[in-house]
Structure formats: structure tokens, C-alpha cells
């Protein structure tokens, strides 16, 4: 890539140009002033661009070329599961019978949509080992909050108003404590031990009759399976708390272990991760929540049910926590996830997790000699290495990430989890070939060598992107959050 500026769409604008086509108004026209009170008639048009259709396509095509997606190249962004986004999913989601149906159409006119939702619910129940699933939450964090609100409703129904704390491991995603706060809880941290797993002794210390829940990702963000999960669950359950499963890392365990069998009471899944969403540049996602029987009555309403007369919405749920989202969730993403599940089937999904774990371990072993390894045992679908060794040479993990850009690789997640210095969190996913993993490994090895021999090459990276490192301090100190026309 060569360094270039791409004008803003507003900078192409010229009075008189149009990029749309509306039919002529075919009804008798009445003066707007007769229909809308003067105070409420807009006097100045919104300054939207005036451009032709080709200008639009050229502009956005140019922007797309300044963007790296999974289809562009390897994207080992830890905890994000940047796997291949199947094309049939996109075609299916655009079928008029799925894309152009209104949420308030009568049930008999949307039987296909309801059937699809019902089937997806059942499949997700089978994958997670939970008793009932809602498809309503829009994304992972939204699912977390929904799940915590369900747990809250359960405790309050039992008169347990003192259960105000949610325990979160120090390795957890930021959304966990944030969701706990939004759901009205106080987030409490439990430490990880020397193996990168939840420290049982510390858990015993923080758990108590004020515990509402423990939120856990398993495998955790370090990529390790919580092998003491049964003991963990017992500690929390004995104290009267509930176990919440953050499904961000489900890609490692399909057909291997189910949260429902591990003792979890509530689960959310990120359909845009494990179930090929896609990520869309940051969304939309979909974050279904599954629960065990005793919590099912608190699920948000409505739920899709199957009756003898066909599929229906069950609105009659007096204990429901209410609505967490308008309508029925991000249906279009759920369509894609269901299409994916039907592409893979039970055997395919199990193979997905096996290959995801194989790929991660292989890459882990290839990189281990060249980088610091904070926890040296087999990982699941992702692993952590640290740039501590390179930092001593003056090359930071950020520099390594930027240097990867020169080779058309998206960098790993960096500086997370917070408990590892100079962390690089690498998740290759099962859809990558061995050749790609090898190419990435060779590049990482080369960068490790550069850090020793020509550190400035890494420190000054990237060298081949459309733009060099950006001044983030300036952006935050003097925020410019929209385009202002220079007269």
C-alpha cells in the first residue's frame, strides 16, 4: 500500500448532483405549512453529500481497500474468533422472505421465521447443555447483562436482596465487570493462580452470602480450560450463588464439554464469533442466553414456542425480566448462525473445536522458543505469549503488532489479559490452513530477530500501510468527532 489521503465523502459534494431515484409524487400535494406547524418545519437542510452513484461506489471501494478483513488475510485477534464468514450465510440472510418481513406481521405470516428461531434455540440448547434459550440479546455484553438480570430476578424472588456482588476473574473481558455494574451489582475480582486458572483459595475468600454469581469464561481468556471447574461450581453453588458462562470462547469446546454439564446456570453465546456472524467491522452481533430450568421463567419475553397449530410467540410470562431489546433480537445474524450450524452439523461442529485447538497449540509451539511464555501448558483455542524479552531490547509489544501490519497480518489482541505484561493473545481459528500458520510463525520469528538486530525497523513500523502511526493523544485532547466544512 502507498500512503495516500482519501477525501471524505463530503469533500466530493457539489450542489445539484444526486445519487438516488424516487418516483414522482403521485398523490395530490398539499402545502407543508398546512400540515406541520411552522415551528416544526425544518428550515435548513441537513448537509448530506451531493454525489453521483459512481462517486459513491468509488468512495466506498477506496475505503474498503483501506480496511483489513478476514477475507483480506490472517486475523489472529485473540478472544474475537475471527474465522471465515461463509458466503451462503450472506445469501440466505438476504432472501426476501427473511430480510423483508416485519416484526409485527401476524404469526401465521411468519411461520418460516418462527420455525427458524425455534430450531436455532433447540440447537443452541443442545450445544450448551442448557434447558431454554432466548435469542433476544443483541451482542455478547447485552447477553451478559440479560443473564445477570435473570440471576438478580431469581435471587430477589427468593428474598435474597443481599446478593449484590458478582465475582469476576482478573483475566476476564472488560464487559464482565461493566455488565455487572449496569445490572446493579458490584464487581469483585478473584485472582488467577500460577497456572493461569481461577485460584480456588481466593475464590473461597471472596465468595459469601452476598455473592450473586461468578462470571467465568471457560476456556478462560488465557486459553486454558478451568480444570477445577467442578470444584469451582460447588464453591459458588454452596454459597448460594449462580454460575455464569461467558460464551466468548465456545469455539474451543463444541462437542468437547458443555457449560450445562460443567455446572453453569446461565450461558451467553456470541453468534458473531463461534457461529460465523460475521463481525461487520464491530457489529451487529447476537448474544443468545441459555438458562437451566429453574431460571427459565425469568427469561425475557417473548419466547418462540411450538404448538399443534404452529409456532407462536409466548408473551404470557409473568416472571420475565421484561424486554431487553425491541422485537426478537438480531434475527438476521441468527439466520446466519443457523445456516452455519446446518452447514456443519454435529460432526462438523465437533471438528471445528478440535481443529481450532490443534491450530492454536501448533502455532503456540512454533512461537514459544522466540517469545516469553507466561503459562507453559497446552492451550485450547487461543494462547498468550509475551513480548517481555523484546521489551528489554527496546521493542514494545505495540511495535511488534505494528510490524505485523507490514506483512498483511492483523496483529493479535495486545496488552490483554491485563494480568500478563506485554501480552499477545493469539487465536488462529480452525479455518486457517497450516500454510498460513507457518507463514505467520515465520514472520513472528523474523520480527523477534529484528528486535535483536535492527530494532528500529520494528520500532518505526508500520512501513507499508496507507498511513503511519496516528497521534491518539491529539485525538483525545482536541476531539474532532465530525467533519466541519471549511468555508
Partner 1 sequence: MNQFRYLPITEQDRKEMLEVIGVDSTEALFSDVPASVRFKGELDVEEALAEGDLFKFMSQLANKNVNTKETPSFLGAGVYDHYIPSVVNHVISRSEFYTAYTPYQPEISQGELQAIFEFQTMICELTGMDVANSSMYDGPTALAEAALMSAGTTRKKKILVSKAVHPEARAVVQSYATGQHLEVIEVPIKDGCTDLEALEQLVDGETASVLIQYPNFYGHIEPLKEIEALTHQSKKAMLVVSSNPLALGLLTPPGQLGADIVVGDCQPLGIPASFGGPHCGYFATTKKNMRKVPGRLVGQTVDEEGQRGFVLTLQAREQHIRRDKATSNICSNQALNALASSVAMTALGKHGLQEMAHQNLQKAHYAVKLMKEKGLDVKLEAPFFNEFVVYCGRPITEVNRQLLDKGFIGGYDLGRTEPDYKDHMLVAVTEQRSAKEIEAFVDALGGVLHD
Q: How far apart are CA 222 and CA 368, in angstroms?
A: 15
Closest approach of Cβ 315 to partner 1, in Å?
A: 9
Cβ-based nearer residue to partner 1, 453 or 486: 486
Given a contact cutoff of 8 angstroms between Cβ atoms, the answer to whether 224 and 216 are in contact is: no
Cβ-based nearer residue to partner 1, 83 or 242: 83
State which H helix or E strand residue 189 sits in. strand 186-190
Cβ-based nearer residue to partner 1, 86 or 208: 86
Cβ-based nearer residue to partner 1, 82 or 452: 82
Closest approach of Cβ 255 to partner 1, in Å?
A: 5
Closest approach of Cβ 390 to partner 1, in Å?
A: 18
Best CA proximity match to 176, nearest among 139, 217, 210, 233: 217
Copy the grid coordinates of residue 247. Answer: 460464551
Q: How far apart are CA 152 and CA 234, in angstroms?
A: 20
Cβ-based nearer residue to partner 1, 182 or 419: 182
Closest approach of Cβ 451 to partner 1, in Å?
A: 19
C-alpha 429: how far from its chain's center?
14
Omega cis (within 30) before 259: no
Between the CA of residue 36 and those of 25, 27, 33, what are the distances in Å?
18, 18, 5
Given a contact cutoff of 8 angstroms between Cβ atoms, the answer to whether 146 and 289 are in contact is: yes
**Which residues does 218 contact at the CB level (< 8 Å), separation at least 6?**
225, 226, 229, 245, 249, 253, 259, 262
Cβ-based nearer residue to partner 1, 240 or 284: 284
Closest approach of Cβ 472 to partner 1, in Å?
A: 5
Closest approach of Cβ 389 to partner 1, in Å?
A: 21
Cβ-based nearer residue to partner 1, 322 or 394: 322
Q: Sign (positive/negative) of CA torsion 390, 392, 394, 396?
A: positive
Closest approach of Cβ 131 to partner 1, in Å?
A: 13
Between the CA of residue 485 and those of 4, 9, 63, 474, what are the distances in Å?
21, 12, 20, 20
Closest approach of Cβ 486 to partner 1, in Å?
A: 13
Closest approach of Cβ 46 to partner 1, in Å?
A: 4
Copy the grid coordinates of residue 480. Answer: 474532532
3-class DSSP state of 311: strand
Closest approach of Cβ 70 to partner 1, in Å?
A: 4
Cβ-based nearer residue to partner 1, 173 or 395: 173
Using a 10 angstrom Cβ sphere, with 0-12 exposed, 13-18 middle and 19 or more buried, the burial of residue 316 is: exposed
Given a contact cutoff of 8 angstroms between Cβ atoms, the answer to whether 82 and 272 are in contact is: no
Instruction: Tell me the β-bridge partners of 203.
Output: none
Provide φ and ψ at 268, rounded to 5°. Answer: -120, 150
Using a 10 angstrom Cβ sphere, with 0-12 exposed, 13-18 middle and 19 or more buried, the burial of residue 456 is: exposed
Given a contact cutoff of 8 angstroms between Cβ atoms, the answer to whether 263 and 290 are in contact is: no
Closest approach of Cβ 13 to partner 1, in Å?
A: 8
Omega cis (within 30) before 462: yes
Amino acid at each position: 500500500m502507498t500512503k495516500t489521503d482519501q477525501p471524505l465523502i463530503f469533500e466530493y459534494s457539489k450542489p445539484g448532483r444526486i445519487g438516488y431515484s424516487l418516483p414522482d409524487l403521485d398523490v395530490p400535494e398539499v402545502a407543508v405549512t398546512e400540515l406541520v406547524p411552522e415551528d416544526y418545519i425544518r428550515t435548513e437542510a441537513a448537509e448530506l453529500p451531493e454525489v453521483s452513484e459512481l462517486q459513491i461506489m468509488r468512495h466506498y471501494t477506496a475505503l474498503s481497500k483501506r480496511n483489513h478483513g478476514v477475507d483480506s488475510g490472517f486475523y489472529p485477534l485473540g478472544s474475537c474468533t475471527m474465522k471465515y464468514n461463509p458466503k451462503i450465510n450472506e445469501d440466505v440472510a438476504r432472501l426476501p422472505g427473511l430480510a423483508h418481513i416485519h416484526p409485527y406481521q401476524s404469526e401465521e405470516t411468519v411461520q418460516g421465521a418462527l420455525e427458524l428461531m425455534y430450531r436455532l434455540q433447540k440447537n443452541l440448547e443442545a450445544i450448551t447443555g442448557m434447558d431454554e434459550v432466548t435469542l433476544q440479546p443483541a451482542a455478547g455484553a447485552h447477553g451478559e447483562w440479560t443473564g445477570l438480570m435473570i440471576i438478580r430476578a431469581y435471587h430477589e424472588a427468593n428474598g435474597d436482596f443481599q446478593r449484590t456482588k458478582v465475582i469476576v476473574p482478573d483475566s476476564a473481558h472488560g464487559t464482565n465487570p461493566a455488565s455487572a455494574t449496569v445490572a446493579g451489582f458490584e464487581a469483585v475480582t478473584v485472582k488467577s493462580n500460577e497456572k493461569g486458572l481461577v485460584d480456588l483459595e481466593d475464590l473461597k475468600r471472596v465468595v459469601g452470602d452476598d455473592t450473586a454469581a461468578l462470571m467465568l469464561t471457560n476456556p478462560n481468556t488465557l486459553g486454558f480450560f478451568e480444570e477445577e471447574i467442578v470444584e469451582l461450581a460447588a464453591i459458588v453453588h454452596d454459597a448460594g450463588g449462580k454460575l455464569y458462562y461467558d460464551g466468548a470462547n465456545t469455539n474451543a469446546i463444541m462437542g468437547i464439554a458443555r457449560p450445562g454439564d460443567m455446572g453453569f446456570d446461565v450461558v451467553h453465546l456470541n453468534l458473531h464469533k463461534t457461529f460465523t456472524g460475521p463481525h461487520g467491522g464491530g457489529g451487529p452481533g447476537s448474544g443468545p442466553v441459555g438458562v437451566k430450568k429453574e431460571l427459565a421463567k425469568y427469561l425475557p419475553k417473548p419466547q418462540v414456542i411450538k404448538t399443534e397449530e404452529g409456532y407462536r410467540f409466548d408473551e404470557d410470562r409473568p416472571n420475565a425480566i421484561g424486554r431487553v431489546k425491541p422485537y426478537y433480537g438480531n434475527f438476521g445474524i441468527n439466520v446466519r448462525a443457523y445456516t452455519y450450524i446446518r452447514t456443519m452439523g454435529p460432526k462438523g461442529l465437533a471438528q471445528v473445536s478440535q481443529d481450532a485447538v490443534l491450530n492454536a497449540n501448533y502455532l503456540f509451539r512454533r512461537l514459544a522458543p522466540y517469545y516469553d511464555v507466561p503459562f507453559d501448558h497446552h492451550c485450547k483455542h487461543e494462547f498468550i505469549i509475551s513480548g517481555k524479552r523484546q521489551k528489554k531490547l527496546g521493542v514494545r509489544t505495540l511495535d511488534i503488532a505494528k510490524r505485523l501490519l507490514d506483512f498483511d497480518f492483523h496483529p493479535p489482541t495486545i496488552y490483554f489479559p491485563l494480568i500478563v505484561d506485554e501480552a499477545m493473545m493469539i487465536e488462529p481459528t480452525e479455518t486457517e490452513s497450516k500454510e498460513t500458520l507457518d507463514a505467520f510463525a515465520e514472520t513472528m520469528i523474523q520480527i523477534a530477530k529484528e528486535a535483536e538486530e535492527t530494532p528500529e525497523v520494528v520500532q518505526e513500523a508500520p512501513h507499508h500501510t496507507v498511513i503511519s502511526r496516528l497521534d491518539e493523544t491529539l485525538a483525545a485532547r482536541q476531539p474532532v468527532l465530525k467533519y466541519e466544512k471549511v468555508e
